[in-house]
Amino acid sequence: MMHGEPSWSYLYRYMIPVCAAAGHRVLAPDLIGFGKSDKPTSIDDYSYQQHMDWMQSFIDKLDLKDITLVCQDWGSLLGLRLAAENPDRFRAIV
């Protein structure tokens, strides 16, 4: 689950338990610099490309596969590109 601006993964606090109870593994990372996450000091760290790089690294390091993407706002911009660039890792987009 990928949130947008200016929210954070707390946005999904009511959806996560429902999805988890249905047997799904749910990941809802906070985008760096949003919500209550750490705030980088360099303005360059807030670029679209930097967020793409961080999320690609997240997917790669966890070796995520068969992903169903739930997203809104900035999460959609990032998530849809991640899905397009990694079609073998994504199952569905919601």
- Find all residues with CB under 8 Å of 43, minimum gap 6, and list them: none
Give yes or no for a contact between 64 and 89, defined as CB atoms under 8 angstroms apart: yes
What does the alpha-carbon distance between residue 30 and residue 58 come to, in Å, rounded to a whole number? 11
Question: For residue 17, what pLDDT band results from cuts at 50, 70 and 90?
Answer: very high
Instruction: Identify the residue with better confidence: 65 or 37.
Output: 65
**pLDDT at res. 39:** 87
Orientation angle between helical segments 48-62 and 74-85, nearest 10 degrees: 60
**pLDDT at res. 73:** 92
What does the alpha-carbon distance between residue 24 and residue 6 come to, in Å, rounded to a whole number? 26
